[in-house]
Chain A
Amino acid sequence: MATLAHPDDLRRPNIASADIQLPAVTSYEQVDNEILAILKPTKAWFASLMLAIACLGLGAFGWIYQIHQGLGVAGYNPPVMWGVYIITFVFWVGIGHAGTLISAILYLFRAGFRTTIYRAAEAMTVFAVMTAGLFPIIHIGRPWKFFWLIPYPNWRLIWPNFKSPLVWDVFAITTYLTISTTFLFVGLIPDIAVLRDRETNPIRRKILGFLSFGWRNTEREWRHFARAYLFLAAFSTPLVLSVHSVVSFDFAMGIVPGWHTTIFPPYFVAGAIFSGFAMVWTIIIPMRRWFGLRHYVTLNHLDASAKMVLFTSLVVGLAYMIEFFIAWYGGVKYEQDYFWNRVFGQWWWAAWIMLTCNMILPLSLFSQKLRRNPTWLWILSIFINIGMWFERFVIVVPSLSHDVEPWQWSSYMPTWVDYALLIGSFGWFFMWFLLFVKQLPVMALAEIKEIIPPKMKHTHSHGGH
């Protein structure tokens, strides 16, 4: 067990001290045994995986049908030419934000409650961005030509239009995916070494050895690891802000009523963190229950993350109110009409789902009792997920269907193909996540070990160095 030992003097400064954080976790062996025990597949896990794959299959069928029949089978109804696909794209990009916020920004801020949740959140980020990335492709008429978005010299002499925010998106999201995947992987290296040391199957052992870069737990390795991790955290931090800002530019750069508003970038970022945290709850609350991890993800951790959710909810709520106020104050009648139509007109139901789920229900988190009630947090997380999907619905559809010229006002109704692809996206996401939890540790072994008191150095023959 060479990887268990850890030099005392090389502790990373940004790991918050937590002598009081995890009172029921006392030794390195306990951490390894309890967290690695999750890796053993169970029947319930197989059943969930099958369900996820079935959903994915439904989505795949819908997509193949759409490719065969043409985009007309989705619910597009001119001028509403952005529908469920773009909504779902923004939804999943948003989900992807909490992971990097938790792993990078909270790391820089030395916030202790991130330690046991960040790995799951980071994996969620990577899979959410992978899911989001599919939707612009699904949304184009000839998806096999998606690579035309990437600028490279070619015989067609076609070059992407760099003035288009949609091209900025391509860069923002591929950068984000690259950095967040690297960040996830770098954090995993010492943990993969633990898996390698416990592995008996020689082939798996070889693979794990390769993935851990031959980690030997030396001082030098830890030093490089800590620097790399810190630098990646610093690189990721501006990305948390920039990616969703660029996504918001897809809307804000247009002069469509309800889209063209300067608050969009920070408001999208706050909303993304809000929805991402909700998805973290959706995943981690059942996980701590089913995998027996209540003493790792404690009520104090949930309480702290609930405060984060409450804060972002209030920021989003303030942004909603400012949008209403400025639409009224500005005196532009298209804007005024749009906001009226959004809340009391054709789309009132969508707007009220959004306002209830994102602004009103999270106010319950002012109560400490509810912040420390995992059941309520889980229920709330489902409402927030729904609310944030509808937030994007409310941005996309009412604006397009109720543009400045009344002759082209119309409606929009998704078809079964839209729903199939929406369900398929959840299947795709959860398939990857479920595969992840049985292959790699869902909590950072190394970081948890860093906050529990180190074992006394005694005459153990497996001493680290």
Chain B
Amino acid sequence: MSGQHHYSPPRDQLVGVLKTKAMPAGLKKVALGLAVFGLGLFAFGAATGESRAWQAFLVNWLFFTTIASAGVMFVAVQRIVTARWSRGIIRFLEGFVAFLPFAAIGLLVIIFGGKSHLYPWWDLVGTGELIPEKELYFGHTFFYARSIIAFGLLLLLQVWYIWTSVRLDVGVTPEYGASWAAGLRARMRAGFGEERRELHSTHSLQGKLAVAMALVFGFGWCVLAWDHSMSLDYHFFSTMYGWQVFMGGWLVSLMVLAVLLRWWKGQFPELPELITEKHYHDVGKLGFAFTAFWGYLTLSQFLIIWYGNLAEETHFFTLRLTGAWSTTTMLAAILTFVVPFFGLLSVKAKTFSPTMILFATSSFLGLWFARYTEIYPSIYGTRVSHAPLGLWEVGIFAGFLGLFAWSYAQFMDAFPKARVFLMTSPYRDEVQVPCDPVTMEPLPAHE
């Protein structure tokens, strides 16, 4: 097997360990506390008409939602490429899906509540101040429809995909887990058939879902990035903008996974082979690679605009590189690219937990500043002498972080914490080559 070792413990042993581990109650309490505090702060701000509460809400919504959505996309990509290396660890990323329903509510709050607090063009629609193209594009109904359809479709596919993935594991394990999901687990078990048949039919369905998700992810996030980030400076346009936004989420979802793996490793001392140094290295390499890719996209976009030197484009970066905003812009570039790129060059830095956690945290904070820099300067322009960064931003960040962690913990408690089926089924490798889902036989390799 050419040096590749895919961990496959006996099913009973694996399930026996998995089901004894619940998420620490203290952690859930802290997360819930943060969520209540942060979202309470937002509610207070919104009720008192404080625009910064809305703006901080948008920054954090964009930050956490791109991470969650890209994390689930990464899970689906594992199916598209039929990856085996990630079988033992990918459930730890699948939990990101639990944040997405909350993100959907957040989006509705933003588009129906935020409006003129956020979008400088909102009140200009219909006044004749906008050029005809933007009059049409920013038309309120069209705007609502775009956001709801793009995010709704994405939500549907991402939840559905994770459902199919979790269903396989719930189907082959005895009932256990958080009581809130007992109904869901019962529905997953209902109609769960013979193991080999389920593997093939699920694999086939997941292939279709994953590809559909990739399409909606690419198109949908472009539209969401234009509408909820680029449009805040409605004179600016850049064709790369959407890709740059969602690849940031992609990068940080991997960095977060790298940190989570360390934590989960500590939770499962009985399963030393579940998460190995090889996984650390592989996830570290992906984090490094996409750090380079993010830097590549960011630099390319900047270089082309700088060199072209056209006022309708350069004003965007001039604003961000001067005055009140230069510090946060530089922080975004340094923390997301410079520090992790040079830091993660060596193998040791990727496998040694303190360094990997340090660089992943750097990337996480860096992307937060990148999101902040996308949104705040467009709203405030040159009207402020210091970047507004205080209780509103930090408090609402804490709220989102708490909600993210809490929803993740709820998910992980409700369903098996590893892909039991794909790790233990004797049929698991049958789908490594293209198969006929009906006959379950491999397709002929050659004529």
- Bound together, the chains give a CA A11 to CA B239 distance in angstroms of 44
Nearest CB of A to B310, in Å: 6
- Bound together, the chains give a CA A18 to CA B67 distance in angstroms of 34
Report if A299 contacts B (CB, 8 A): yes
Residues of B in contact, count (CB < 8 Å): 50
Report if A332 contacts B (CB, 8 A): yes
A-contact 0/1 string along B286-327, CB 8 Å cutoff: 000100110011001101110111101000000000000000
The stretch from B48-56, B169-177, B214-222, B255-263 touching chain A is B214-222
Cβ-defined contact, B239 with A299, below 8 A: no
Residues of A within 8 Å of B447, CB to CB, are: 294, 299, 374
Cβ-defined contact, A17 with B133, below 8 A: no
Residues of A within 8 Å of B226, CB to CB, are: 329
Given contacts A17-B1, A249-B304, A260-B304, contact A330 B242 (CB under 8 A): no
Cβ-defined contact, B243 with A263, below 8 A: yes
Cβ-defined contact, A372 with B443, below 8 A: yes
Within 8 A of B (CB), among A290-305: 294-295, 298-300, 303
The interface centre, meaning the residue of B289, B293, B300, B310 with most chain A CB atoms within 10 A of its CB, is B300
- Bound together, the chains give a CA A253 to CA B237 distance in angstroms of 16
**Of A11, A111, A300, the contact of B2 (CB 8 Å cutoff):** A11
**Of B2, B292, B310, the contact of A15 (CB 8 Å cutoff):** B2
- Bound together, the chains give a CA A300 to CA B447 distance in angstroms of 11
- Bound together, the chains give a CA A372 to CA B434 distance in angstroms of 10
- Bound together, the chains give a CA A219 to CA B309 distance in angstroms of 57
- Bound together, the chains give a CA A372 to CA B307 distance in angstroms of 45
- Bound together, the chains give a CA A19 to CA B4 distance in angstroms of 12
Cβ-defined contact, A300 with B434, below 8 A: yes
Within 8 A of B (CB), among A304-355: 307, 314-315, 318-319, 322-323, 326, 328-332
Report if B137 contacts A (CB, 8 A): yes
Report if A13 contacts B (CB, 8 A): yes
Cβ-defined contact, B239 with A111, below 8 A: no
Residues of A within 8 Å of B85, CB to CB, are: 110
**Of B3, B4, B237, B442, the contact of A329 (CB 8 Å cutoff):** B237
Report if B433 contacts A (CB, 8 A): yes
Given contacts A262-B300, A329-B134, A331-B133, contact A299 B2 (CB under 8 A): no
**Of B3, B134, B444, the contact of A12 (CB 8 Å cutoff):** B3
Nearest CB of B to A352, in Å: 21
Report if A150 contacts B (CB, 8 A): no
Report if A20 contacts B (CB, 8 A): yes
Nearest CB of B to A323, in Å: 6
- Bound together, the chains give a CA A374 to CA B134 distance in angstroms of 47
B-contact 0/1 string along A244-279, CB 8 Å cutoff: 010001001111000011111110000000000000
Cβ-defined contact, A262 with B301, below 8 A: yes
Cβ-defined contact, A331 with B131, below 8 A: yes
A-contact 0/1 string along B1-17, CB 8 Å cutoff: 11110000000000000
Nearest CB of A to B286, in Å: 10
- Bound together, the chains give a CA A109 to CA B285 distance in angstroms of 10
Report if B105 contacts A (CB, 8 A): no
Report if B238 contacts A (CB, 8 A): yes
Nearest CB of B to A343, in Å: 17
Report if B190 contacts A (CB, 8 A): no
**Of B4, B240, B289, B292, the contact of A17 (CB 8 Å cutoff):** B4
Nearest CB of A to B357, in Å: 24
Report if B446 contacts A (CB, 8 A): yes
- Bound together, the chains give a CA A298 to CA B434 distance in angstroms of 12
Residues of A within 8 Å of B242, CB to CB, are: 322
The interface centre, meaning the residue of A109, A266, A368 with most chain B CB atoms within 10 A of its CB, is A266
Within 8 A of A (CB), among B197-237: 211, 215, 218-219, 222, 226, 237
Cβ-defined contact, B238 with A295, below 8 A: no
Nearest CB of B to A166, in Å: 13
Residue of B nearest to A260 (CB): B308
Report if A23 contacts B (CB, 8 A): yes
Report if A450 contacts B (CB, 8 A): yes
Cβ-defined contact, A299 with B443, below 8 A: yes
Report if A24 contacts B (CB, 8 A): yes
Report if A451 contacts B (CB, 8 A): yes
Cβ-defined contact, B1 with A19, below 8 A: yes
Residues of A within 8 Å of B310, CB to CB, are: 255, 260
Residues of A within 8 Å of B297, CB to CB, are: 265-266
Within 8 A of A (CB), among B122-155: 131, 133-134, 137
Cβ-defined contact, B222 with A322, below 8 A: yes
- Bound together, the chains give a CA A12 to CA B85 distance in angstroms of 16
Report if B432 contacts A (CB, 8 A): yes
Cβ-defined contact, A24 with B237, below 8 A: no
Nearest CB of A to B231, in Å: 9
Residue of B nearest to A295 (CB): B446
Cβ-defined contact, B446 with A266, below 8 A: no
Cβ-defined contact, A262 with B304, below 8 A: yes
Report if A241 contacts B (CB, 8 A): yes
Cβ-defined contact, B2 with A17, below 8 A: yes
Given contacts A11-B3, A15-B2, contact A262 B240 (CB under 8 A): yes
Nearest CB of A to B196, in Å: 17
**Of B81, B239, B432, B444, the contact of A263 (CB 8 Å cutoff):** B239
Report if B80 contacts A (CB, 8 A): yes
Cβ-defined contact, B240 with A266, below 8 A: yes
Cβ-defined contact, B239 with A261, below 8 A: yes
Cβ-defined contact, A253 with B308, below 8 A: yes
23 residue pairs A–B, Cβ–Cβ below 8 Å: A11-B2, A13-B4, A16-B4, A17-B4, A20-B432, A20-B433, A20-B442, A111-B81, A237-B289, A242-B296, A261-B239, A262-B238, A265-B304, A266-B296, A307-B80, A314-B218, A322-B222, A322-B239, A322-B242, A329-B226, A331-B131, A331-B134, A372-B434
- 10 cross-chain pairs, A with B, having the tightest CB-CB distances, nearest first: A263-B239, A262-B240, A265-B300, A330-B237, A298-B445, A17-B2, A294-B446, A13-B3, A262-B301, A331-B131
Interface residues of chain A, those whose CB is within 8 Å of chain B, are 11-13, 15-24, 108-111, 237-238, 241-242, 245, 249, 252-255, 260-266, 294-295, 298-300, 303, 307, 314-315, 318-319, 322-323, 326, 328-332, 366, 368, 372, 374, 450-451
Besides the contacts A13-B3, A265-B300, what 4 more A-B pairs have beta carbons closer than 8 Å? A15-B3, A252-B304, A255-B310, A329-B133
